[in-house]
Structure formats: C-alpha cells, structure tokens
Amino acid sequence: MHASAPEVPPASPPRASRLKRWIIGVLLLLGIFAGLAAVKAGQIVSMISAGETFVQPPESVTSAQAESFGWQGTRSAVGTVLALRGVTLSAELPGVVNDIRFENGASVKKGQVLVQLDTSSEQAQLAGAEADAELSRLTRERAEKLNAQGANTQSELDAVRARALQSSATVAHLKSLIAKKTIRAPFDGRIGIRQVELGQLVSPGNPIASLQSSTPALVEFQLPQQALAQVKQGQKVRLRVDVFPGESWEGDLTTINPEVELSSRNVRMRATVPNADGRLLPGMFVSVEVLSDASEQVVAIPATAVLFAPYGDSVFTLSEGKDAAGKTALLARQQFVRLGERRGDYVAVTSGLKPGQTVVSSGVFKLRNGMAVVVNNALAPPIEVAPQPVNP
C-alpha cells in the first residue's frame, strides 16, 4: 500500500490586500465627511450672506407733535372736606325724651326745637315760684309806701326787697332749667341720624344727633414749605372728588397756617368752597389744585411717548434718513429728555425737545435707535389735557 500525501491548508489572503481594503474604506468615509462639510459650509455662507443683505421691515407706530401750551401753574395736594360748623348735640341736664321734632337727615334752621325733655316737674315748680314772686312784688310795693310814710323801718324794707329779688331769681332759675331741657338747633344745617328714642332717659353728654353746616364747605390740605413762595390767600382752588367723576368745584384759599409742622415740614391750609347742592360732605377725600395767578409756556408731549428708564427718560423723534438697505425711510432717533409736570394725557418736557418736533407716541418699547418706522395714526387714541373717563 502506498502512503497518502499530507493535506496542504488553503493559502490565506496576503496581508497587503487586507490593508488595501482598509485604506479604501477610510478614504471613502473621509470623502463622505468632506462632502457633508462642504455642503454645510455652503449653507452657512449662504445664511451669512443673506443675513448681511436682510433689511428688517419698518415697525408700525403712531406719532404726535411736541406742542407749546400755556399751562396755568398749579400745586396739587390731597385734602379732606370739613364742615363750616359741626357739633354733636347732647343734653345738658338729665331727663326723659318727651318729644322728637326732626327727621333723620333733614335740614333744620337755627333755633328750631329738635328734642323736648320732660319738664312737668319744673313747670309745676315754676307756677308756685311765679305766684311767690308776685306776692313778693306786691309786698315790696306796700313796704315802700309804708316806708315813705315812716310806718316801717329801713331794715324791714330791705328784707322785703331781698325777698322779692330771691323770688324772681327762683323763677329765672326754673325757666333756665326748662330752656335747657328744650334742645334747639344752634345754627342752620343738616342733622344726622338720631341716637335717642321717645321715653329714653338721657344723661348729660349723651349724644342726640350730629348737626353739620357744609354750605359753604371747608377743605383742609397740606403743601410742602417750598410752596409758600408761590401760594397766598385769595388764590383760586379747584377740587375733584372720585364720587363725581368729571365734575369740579372752585373756591378760594382762605387760610394759611402761620407755622410749619416739624414732623413733615408741611403747611396746613384751608379753602372755602361754595357747596349749594350739599354734595361735598364732611370727611370726603378730595384732590386739590391751588391755581397760580399766571400761566407759563411749556413744551408738552403725550406721556405714552416717553421711554422711562433708570438711566434717563427718552423719546424717539422721527426724521428722514437712509435705512440699512440705503433707501430713504422714516427713522426713529432716540433722544434723552428732562420731564416736568404731568397733566392729563400730556407731560411737560423741560429740556431735550423743541415745539414742532415729531415724536413716536406709541410703540416706543419696540424701537431701537435708527430703526425704520412707518406711521399709522388711523387708530391712535385722542390725547387730551383733561381727559374724561368713560364708563363701559
């Protein structure tokens, strides 16, 4: 038998061939990455180019002109309505309420009887005292005749005269007690809600009702001491009350306190205001304006045109110029201003603007310096120095 030849294993691919395949694969991947990078770079360049040539569309705003107004100088304050005269009626003597002769909230006249306390005991004593006083008077007359004839002594006459005076004093005292138990209105006014009832026993000092005279009305308010240089007695005063929107009352500054309060450095003042209809009630909160005798010229703009900021208030003025695309457009230029008094929808500008300049009146919060704008005043609300609120 012949021996079989040994089996030879198949030859493995050469190492060089394997490396070649790896290189080809890496090159393909690099080619793919390079292509993607080129595409992305092209997109970025296109976006940058588009951004450089992009022009933001103009913002829509409303506009108004800086106007010159003749404003009458004012000093504003808050005040309280006071009654010209006001008291809380009470009994001076104890007694039982026998009669009530007023209605709650009614107007009463000076001297009108409001409450009558029981005076039956004093009336009975008065009748006896008057009879005694009449007897004493007659006795004095007889004693005087007898003394003239020398029928009695001077001491007897003096005793009779003293007795007559004492009787008259007793009558006067009883009449005074009866009068004090008749409670009358001390002045014309409007009486409040009664606090007593028929048959009630009242003591001295017990409140019966409040009586207020508010025609004219007094208004008390305070102004800082710096205002003393601009205010004086006789100046006109204007009042407004939230209860009656759109209405005002005018009066005169009648009292300036001769001292400054140490705690606040304010000066108390009072104004007298006609109140024929009685709508200004004591205790009401009112807004007070002390009007100056002369007016001053101010430059005013709508308050909505001001961009308030901690570093300074500013407005946007409108003028023609070139936008980012080089085209002629209306541009908003930021300009810092110094503000003064605010009145209604307007605010005074003490520096930074001249009359006739056009400013953006609404939409300032969305603007930047030099931005192109387009003006649309079709829906702009009216701007008034004294706006009137409208209830829905």
The total number of residues written for the chain in this structure: 392
Q: Which residue has the higher pLDDT, 385 or 239?
A: 239
Of residues 174 and 389, the one with the higher pLDDT is: 174
State the fold for domain 91-117+182-211.
Answer: OB fold (Dihydrolipoamide Acetyltransferase, E2P) (2.40.50)
Question: What is the rounded average pLDDT of the residues 45-67?
Answer: 74
Backbone angles phi, psi at 178, to 5 degrees: -65, -40
Got the DSSP string for 291-335? EEEEEEEEEEEEGGG-B--TT--EEEEEEEEE-TTS-EEEEEEEE
Could you tell me how far CA 170 lies from the centroid of its own chain? 59
Closest to 74 (Cα-Cα) out of 384, 360, 344, 376: 344
Considering the chain, tell me which residue range(s) the CATH 2.40.50.100 domain(s) occupy.
91-117+182-211
HSE of 232, CA atoms in CB hemisphere, 13 A = 4
- Sort strands 113-117 and 182-184 into parallel, antiparallel or unpaired: antiparallel
> Residues 227-251: what's their mean pLDDT?
89
pTM of the model: 0.59
Residue ranges of the chain that CATH labels 2.40.420.20: 59-71+296-375
- Mean pLDDT throughout 280-305? 88
Query: Does CATH number 2.40.420.20 belong to domain 59-71+296-375?
Result: yes
Sorting pLDDT into bands at 50, 70 and 90, what band is 388?
A: low
Q: Is 237 helix (H, G, I), strand (E, B) or coil?
A: strand
Instruction: Name the DSSP letter for residue 57.
Output: P
CA neighbours within 13 Å on the CB side: how many for 97? 22
Using pLDDT thresholds of 50, 70 and 90, give the confidence band for residue 392.
Answer: very low
CATH 2.40.30.170 residue ranges for the chain: 75-84+212-294
- Structure tokens belonging to residue 207: 């409140």
Q: In 115-153, where does DSSP find H-type helix? A: 120-149
Domain with CATH 1.10.287 in the chain: 119-180
pLDDT band at residue 50 using 50, 70 and 90 as cut-offs: low
Closest CA to 67 of 283, 345, 298, 321: 298
Spatial neighbors of 392 by CB under 8 A, at least 6 apart, are none
Distance set, CA 40 to CA 18, 35, 44, 52, 212 (Å): 34, 9, 6, 18, 88
Poorest-pLDDT segment among 143-152, 248-257, 274-283, 287-296: 143-152
- CATH match of 119-180 with 1.10.287: yes
For residue 13, is pLDDT > 90?
no
Considering only CA atoms, which of 379, 363, 257 is closest in space to residue 305?
363
CA 123 distance to own-chain centroid: 56
pLDDT over 60 at 103, yes or no: yes
- Across all residues in the chain, what is the average pLDDT? 85
Q: What is the rounded CA–CA span in Å between residue 347 and residue 360?
A: 14
The string of pLDDT tens digits covering residues 325-363 is: 677 788 899 999 999 888 888 898 988 899 989 999 988
Highest mean pLDDT out of 40-44, 74-78, 235-239: 235-239
Banded pLDDT at 273 (limits 50, 70, 90): very high
- The domain covering 75-84+212-294 belongs, at the CATH homologous superfamily level, to Efflux pump adaptor protein, beta barrel domain (2.40.30.170)
